[in-house]
Structure 1
């Protein structure tokens, strides 16, 4: 039985082939409906896969709510007052105890749960597109306000991964990539000559041209498009492996 992830990628290949056939618009619309359903299933399985353990630990549960009551762990006196919320000092003490008691698997699952609390569906799409180990072209626009001044990033997150990932809100790509990078799930490597055509297409992107035009009018110097390669980081691959998407 194929995994949901494999079905998503198979559907993408079929969709790309169908773009050259008569009635491609109708096929594309139908495909997007099917892909959305499969990706929703994939996202639910990602969450379920890292939630297969007791939620009594402060690290394993969801985001801490200061107004919520704390449950006492059976057979222990770790919470002497279950009515009052924990103070920062208490929370730190419990987390240190968790760090000593947790197994390696439990610790990794705790981290994965935290990551899932900080990503959205479009970012899952990006991770899915990168999960096969492929790299994608990514560029940013930079310049300086003086001839010898420090270079500034004026636009970032313009990447060829947006199409295979079927990102819904493309205007948020810089935010998505910035967040995934901050979480340690992706990395930006050196320029890859194999992506030369992709780089050229990205540099002709309307957002890039607009950013360059605005910067020129603002008097920026040494404007250029910086080329890099986008791929999953080691942590990103670990995260994807933890989130077992195999059909159960």
Structure 2
């Protein structure tokens, strides 16, 4: 009997602190129960309304699934914490913070449905009827600027300020054009030298790109002033092409800005004051003569 006394005392020593802690645990449990009941009522009402909406709204359905998943994860974390010996009050606080973070996270924006071409066309016509619109420049100017090399900007500025530029083709046949004529060197010009491009060997590619973008065009007609060709025809590349065959002839052509290219240069490459006050050289309209395809090398 006496042997049981120490054992009973040890058990009482363990039980007393637990009994003393009951009021605090009771308060925590009561508060958690009230809060859980209140949250459950509000959540059930809100969830029921959202379930109805989710039937018609895919974005609402996705958000509802996300919140349910977050709540289930928080409950699982709470159970694991209590089982691991974490105090109930602390475990409830951590679970509440996890739920708050999950529910306060802004939902992802709904996916944008692609607009049809007809809808975009209707918007375009609506803007055309807006007399208060102050849009400046063509909408394509932004895209074109992203597709231009710096050297191509120099070429455009030369054409705007310096006017149409001479170019020549070197062909076989001589002055009397005996037999069939073959192209030896197309589209030779001094545009690279006069514009100060960094990569002179890329000028043919630059001109091809400017033609592709609708900024320049290649006329089969010569410029009115024949002196424009004297320096060009004395350049080493032109003389080398002429002397590469027994009979050769030089065909004079010209390179111009298109009306669209002029508008682009005035809007994007010079200041507003210069665009409004400066008188730039005129370029031929590609409708007035046959526009040639860009020269190839």
TM-score, length of structure 1 as denominator length: 0.49
Report which of the two structures shows the higher radius of gyration computed on alpha carbons.
Answer: 2
Bigger proportion of residues as helix: 2
